[in-house]
Amino acid sequence: MTEAYTESELLSVLSARELKDGQVVFAGIGIPLLAAVLAQRSHCPGLTILFEGGVVGASVEPGRLPPSTNDQRGAKRSNMVLGSSEVLLLMQRGYVDVGFMGGAQIDQYGNLNSSLINGTGDKAAVRLPGSGGGNDIASLTNLIVSIKHEKRRFVERVDFVTSPGWLAGRDARRASGLSEGGAFRVITDLAVLGFDDETKRMTVRALNPGVTKQNVQDHTGFELLFDRDMSITEPPTADELRLLRSLDPERILLS
């Protein structure tokens, strides 16, 4: 019998499974951090975790998750601590494989918005935190996005492109001067999605247990593509949940 798990636990486990041993991952705080540390402590012992605050090779202690990328708990036993600009330069030099982010909106080409909703400038109905290093991460790495699957988040066109995915699709990203990286995976509470090789439109690769194609489409504000070899994701195992919960015993992020 499958053990019960929360939405945050599902997102963390599915995201961790996308990482490979030996990769270098630029992880944000929250689900991206949980997923990266889970992967590092399970199937990716050689995974190198970077934080925007300057930490290279983070080794996070269970139960002591840093609340921000600048918190010194993330620096303990790390390989080195650099300035933020130097960490971003590592991406420009091609040393980072995967970027891990979230956002308020995502569109059919994987563009992310974490800046403005409904309007521009001071006239926007909602002002969000903005880019930080998000634009750099999306521009220079293979991007994994972890996000709740809601129609208000999955929109046909984002209100503002904070972090570029495949822009307008096809070769638009490369034509804009972004020759590396691109939106790679979108992990949600309903499905695991990728992008069509030719059109770069969002494509459902796997449905989560108990979810139908119609469920996913009903929670999406644009027409999805469905992979002809679409599968069903394996639910989190007891070992994955045990390890994940040990990282956040007070369930600050896993509630």
The catalytic residues are: 52
DSSP string of 8-29? Answer: HHHHHHHHHHT--TT-EEEE-T
At 118, list the tokens. 């409904």
In 3D, which of 40, 44, 35, 42 has the Cα closest to residue 15? 35
Helix (H, G, I), strand (E, B) or coil at 146: strand
Surface-to-core class of residue 20, CB atoms within 10 Å of its CB (0-12 exposed, 13-18 middle, 19+ buried): middle
In terms of phi and psi (left: phi > 0; alpha: psi -120 to 50; beta: otherwise), the region of 168 is alpha
Nearest to 58 by CA among 42, 40, 32, 79: 79
| Residues 138 and 184: beta-carbon distance below 8 Å | no
Classify 50 in phi/psi space as left (phi over 0), alpha (psi -120 to 50) or beta.
beta
Q: Which two tokens stand for residue 133?
A: 């290093």
Q: What burial class does residue 197 get, using C-beta atoms within 10 Å of its C-beta: 0-12 exposed, 13-18 middle, 19+ buried?
A: exposed
What's the CA gap between 168 and 164, in Å, rounded? 10
